[in-house]
Each structure stands twice: as structure tokens, then as C-alpha cells.
Structure 1
Amino acid sequence: MAINIVLEKPAEYGGTDYDGLWKKMIHELFEEFILFFIPSLSEEIDFSVKPEFLQQELFREVIDDRRGKSIADQIVKVYLKDGKEKWILVHIEVQGNEDPDFAKRMFRYYYRIYDKFNKDIVTIALITDTSTSYRPDTYHYSFHGTSLTYTYNMFKFTDFKESELMESANPFAIAILAAQYANQTRNNDEKRYRFKYKLFKMILQKAHYPSNEQRMYIASLLYFIDYLLQIPVELSKKLRDEIMQTKEGKQMVYIDKENLPLSWAELEVIFRKEGEEKGEKKGIKKGREQERKSVAQTMLEEGMSVELVAKCVTLSIDEVKKIAEEM
């Protein structure tokens, strides 16, 4: 089975690599993604077989009507427990304005992928805008007796209730909460700070997964929220101080920080720096610098921008450009 991830970046998110945020989290927590949105499908997929994210070049062969746009899209192949190969088309729609051609475009993606690969396809559309009336879940065509109706799974973020999202243990519940809060706080830094603190603390309180899952959940969510809900430097410092005063924040410092992905979220960066200030040896620091470069290379290979990679791994833009040139 394969998953095709289509992400469109809206102008209103400014410097935030919104495409990259969703792409990265779905890539890292793919099983949880399917479990949250289509649990019945999750039961059929054999997750012991690692999902295969197909290359950008392959997707461009199929989706050729977005030339000139920044494409963070992928097709991901997975297999069912009965051994059959299936394909899933996952379309993440993040443009801020209503698109009257969205459903038609979804159908076009569907038939191009089906025509090229001849595989069964499950389509999932995630709509993140704030309109309650915009619900593009069906494409219908009719002309003199010839008609076609294409429907697909459409999930509207405004449909999810805050209370239910807060109770869920799935990381994508928190991701949707963060997206809702981002829409509510575009021009209110103080309110965004309070929401960000609330989400950070919620993540740490829910950190009861097995250690490997815990590291991935925490790193992915903190990274996602940190860059989706950006706040001024002074509020970021205040957030750090507030979190570190909580029981969960103090425990976070000791949650196997050696194995957490470096600099993927503000808190992890803080914990790492505090550890260095307490006297880590130069050899360890050198090793961590090399690890940052390794993480940067991986992020570049995933198609993320040089600027975002530099910010995430605390390397200069020139250093990241050099890594890109050597790839």
C-alpha cells in the first residue's frame, strides 16, 4: 500500500515551513496517523513491514499540475496483513482560502496514480482552514448522460472537539489541537504562549509510552508545536522557565536525552544546552556537533529548506549549505 502526502503552504503562516511540519510528523508517526483517522484501515495494515516513502521524482511524474510550487508531497507504500499491496492517497490541504477546484484536483490525483500504478487507493483529505461551510468531500461530473461521482475521506479540523482531542492518547490529536490554536492566535502572542505552554505540559504528562515510542512522540510533537506556534524570544524564555518549574519539565531533562533527535524542539535544545553548561567534555560536544550535521543531512534529504534545517539543528546557514553541496 502506498501513501501519497500532498501539502500546500499558505501565505499566512509566514516563515513557518508548514508543509515540512506535517510531512515530518506523518513520516515519523505514520502508524499513529492512520490509527487516528481511519482505525479500521490501521487494523488491516501490516506495520511490521516498514512503510516505503517513494521519492519526490516519482510523485512529480504523477502530480504535474503544481509546477513552480514548493512540493512536499510523497507516495508511501504499505502492505496489508494478507500480503496484498495497497495504496493510500493522503492529501493534506493547508491553504488558508477555500479552493473551488479542490475536489476536482483530488480526483485528478486519484486517477493519475491509479492509472500509473493500478493499485487500490484510499484517499484521506485533511482540511485545516477555519471555515465551517467549506467541506470538499465529493467531486461530481455530468454531461449529457455521462456522469461520475468521486467521494473520499475528508476530515475537517474544525469538526474535532477540543475536549475529545485532549483526552486522546494519539499524538495527532495534539497536532490537530495545535493547528486549531494556531488559527485562533494568529495575532495574539500572549494567547499563543498560553496555548503553547498548555500543549507542552500535556505532552510531558502523556509521556507514559515505552521508551522508544516516548522519545519519538516527545521529539516529534515538541518540534511540531514549537515551529507551528512560534512566539517572540522573550515569551519563549518565559515558557522555558514555566515548564522547568513543573514536575514534568524537571523529569524531561532526564528522559534519555542522549538519544532524542538533536534540536528538533525548543525544550530539547534547552535541555541539551543546560547539560553542556554543567560541564560536558569537549569530546562529547564534538560528537554532538557531528550528530547535528548528520541530522541536518537527513532533514535535507527529506526536502526541508536550508533555513529551517539551520534553525532546527543550530548550525549556520552556510554550514547547512555546505552539507547540501556535499550530498
Structure 2
Amino acid sequence: MATNVVHEEKKKYEATETPPDQDGLWKNLITELFEKFMQFFAPRLYEEIDFTKDPDFLQQELYKEIIQGKKGRVAADQIVKVFLKNGDERWILIHIEVEGKDGADFPKRMFRYFYRIYDKFDREIYAIALLTDAEKSTYHNQYRYSFHGTELEYTYNIYKFDSKNIKKLEQSSNPFAAAVIAGIYASKTKNDSQQRYIFKRKLMTQILQKFTMSNEETHTYFTALLYFIDYLLQVPEELKQKFIEEIRPLIGKEEVLQMKAEKEKLSPTLAAIFAEAKEEGEAKGIEKGRAEGKAEGKAEGIEEAKIMFAQELIRNKYSDETIAKLTKLDVEVIKKLRKEFE
């Protein structure tokens, strides 16, 4: 049988000028790489889970019924149902607290999540909270209640980013070690774009060295991590192009083309590299087509590829000038495409 996690309906997380949806990015990554998530954050429980049975992520309706009975936004919670190797069923509650500043009511919230699930479904629950703020926090892992002899103590697991050593995390081959580093960098560089760019470039280089594209498993880690990091560690417009230019030589064009052929969701960086690789391939096709009298058709193919790439960049909020540089299209054409898109 499988592991079940309660979570919101999966959606796309687009890069914008506003801060990224960190809750959504984390949930997306956990869903894609759940086994590695459990191996990294809950190694003892991981050893007991039967991963031959896919984890079962609960649907939106159940999420609303259990979690959203309280006021406020709780976008980061997931409940996963898993089965152990001995056949027992367990539920895993994952809560992601993004950059919380006041942890005073946090233990009570964790207890509420627990008793709602337990009361409704009578399931044994493993609960863990990821506290992504890299600054020292006041969050605790216990909720205590006492009133005239009526007492209760609820303890849950927490993973605090502020206490983690980056050098030690860099030695891990688990993709979530890199995700935690990205979370620490995102928290530390909220007001320093240049430093965030340096961290992003360093982290991406390490990931490219660690997870080869030729291996199917590590290829999955790479594409999921790059998507996560590209959106989590957003940089200003002038640094986006610089990042693309510095990362491009580290990723083989054929590998990027293969990713697109397999219809994988590309991050903005990979989309830009893919467009360049495709354009070079089309250019070679034009030369061959000319010899065969087919240059016109090839030219049309290049133009179509440029337009498709421009549309993707418009969706990701790139400026007209940057899109023109990346696609070699005229700015007026970009403006027309943007108007059609809007």
C-alpha cells in the first residue's frame, strides 16, 4: 500500500516580480521526490516504509476538511498515507513554516492538525515541521496544556534551518540537502540580490557536478532541483541573463534538448538554454535545407521556435528587452506577443 500526505491541489509556480510561493515550491518538490524527502528528514521511519507501494497524497477535498477549518492561510500542509514493510498503515503530516517570525502559537497549531486528523480518521500519525527561516527562531516541538489537573503534552518532530551547517549539507548526496541550502540562502539574502546571485550560481554548479544527466534517477533530481532553485532564488532582470550565460556551458545542449523531447517542465534557465540549443540545431538545418531547396521551411521553423520561447518568457515576467536579447526577435514583435498574451 502507499504513504499518504495531505496537501493542496498541485499547481504551477511561476516566477514573478513578487516573492515566490515558497510553500508551493516546497510542496511540489516533496511530492516529486517523496522517498528522498523521507530518507533525509526521517531516516528511521524511512527504513520501515515499503516504497514498492506509491505514497498516496490525499486530495484537495480532504485537505480542506481537515486543515482549513481554522482561520488563516495554511497552504503548506500535506498528509501522506504510507504502508510499512510489515503491512501497517501510517499517516505522515508534513508542515512547512516559511520564514515565520513569531512561533508563540505554533505548537498549538501543530496539535490542532494532529487531533483533527486523529479524531476524524483514527490513524497513527508521524508529524514533522520544516522551519525554513535561517534566522534564530523561537519555535518549539512541544505543546503543553494544564488546567487544574487536566494535562496534555504533545511532541512532534521539527527541522530548523537556522541550526544547519551548510558545509555538512554540501557533503550529502540527497537532493533535499541542496533544497535546504537553497532555503537557507533564500532567507539570508532577502535584501541582497548580488549575494543571492552568487549563492545561486554556486549551488547550481554543485548540483550539476553531483547529479549527472546521464543517470535516470539523478536526472530526475537535477530537473526537480533546478526548477525549485530557479524560482526560489529569484534575481533581478539584469542578473538573470548573466546567470543563464554562466550556467549554459555546464549543461550539454543535447541533454537539454532531450529533456524537452521528454516534455519535462523546464525552469526559465533551462528554457533559455533549450531555445539556444534548438536555434543552433535549426540553423544547421537551414544550411542543409538550402542545399536541398528547403531553406524556407527551416526558416519558418526557427521563427516559430523563437515565438514559442518568447511566449514562455512573457509568462515568466521577463522584460521586453531581455526577451529580445534571448530570442533575437524585434522588441515590437515581443510587445505584440505580450499584448496578445494579456
Shorter chain as normaliser: what TM range?
0.7 to 0.9
CA distance in 1, matches of 2:131, 2:29: 17
CA distance in 2, matches of 1:168, 1:238: 28
Q: Which amino acid aligns with 1:311?
A: N
Higher mean C-alpha displacement, 185-194 vs 69-78: 69-78
CA distance in 2, matches of 1:116, 1:228: 35
Counterpart in 2 of 1:265? 267
Question: Do the aligned partners of residues 144 and 67 (structure 1) sit closer, same or farther apart at CA in structure 2, a change above 3 Å counting?
Answer: closer
Higher mean C-alpha displacement, 206-215 vs 189-198: 206-215
For residue 109 of structure 1, report the CA deviation from its aligned partner. 0.5
1:112 and 2:116 aligned:
yes
The answer to whether the Cα contact below 8 Å between 2:244 and 2:273 also exists between their aligned partners in 1 is no
1:311 and 2:312 aligned:
no
SS of aligned partner of 2:316: helix
1:134 and 2:138 aligned:
yes
The answer to whether the Cα contact below 8 Å between 1:215 and 1:260 also exists between their aligned partners in 2 is no
CA distance in 2, matches of 1:117, 1:285: 56
Counterpart in 2 of 1:276? 278
CA distance in 1, matches of 2:98, 2:121: 27
For residue 65 of structure 1, report the CA deviation from its aligned partner. 3.7
Counterpart in 1 of 2:255? 254
Q: TM-score, normalised by structure 2?
A: 0.76
Question: Do the aligned partners of residues 123 and 178 (structure 1) sit closer, same or farther apart at CA in structure 2, a change above 3 Å counting?
Answer: same
Q: Which amino acid aligns with 2:165?
A: K
**Structure 2, unaligned stretches of length 5 or more?**
9-16, 283-297, 318-322, 324-336
Deviation per CA, 1:117-139, whole angstroms, max 9, x where unpaired?
11110000111123424132000
For residue 58 of structure 1, report the CA deviation from its aligned partner. 0.5
Question: Do the aligned partners of residues 310 and 241 (structure 1) sit closer, same or farther apart at CA in structure 2, a change above 3 Å counting?
Answer: closer
For residue 16 of structure 1, report the CA deviation from its aligned partner. 0.8
Question: Do the aligned partners of residues 44 and 199 (structure 1) sit closer, same or farther apart at CA in structure 2, a change above 3 Å counting?
Answer: same
CA distance in 2, matches of 1:231, 1:103: 34
The answer to whether the Cα contact below 8 Å between 1:92 and 1:126 also exists between their aligned partners in 2 is yes
Counterpart in 1 of 2:166? 162
1:1-327 matched pairs, under 5 angstroms: 1-5=3-7, 14-67=18-71, 69=73, 71-208=75-212, 211-245=215-249, 249-251=250-252, 253-254=254-255, 256-259=258-261, 262-280=264-282, 310-311=315-316
The answer to whether the Cα contact below 8 Å between 2:77 and 2:94 also exists between their aligned partners in 1 is no
Deviation per CA, 1:68-96, whole angstroms, max 9, x where unpaired?
63635432222111122110111111143
The answer to whether the Cα contact below 8 Å between 1:3 and 1:87 also exists between their aligned partners in 2 is yes
The higher radius of gyration belongs to 2
Q: Which amino acid aligns with 2:316?
A: K
Q: CA RMSD in A?
A: 3.3
CA distance in 2, matches of 1:316, 1:80: 51
For residue 259 of structure 1, report the CA deviation from its aligned partner. 4.8
Q: TM-score, normalised by structure 1?
A: 0.80
SS of aligned partner of 1:150: strand
Q: Which amino acid aligns with 1:107?
A: F
Report sequence identity in percent.
Answer: 46
For residue 112 of structure 1, report the CA deviation from its aligned partner. 0.6
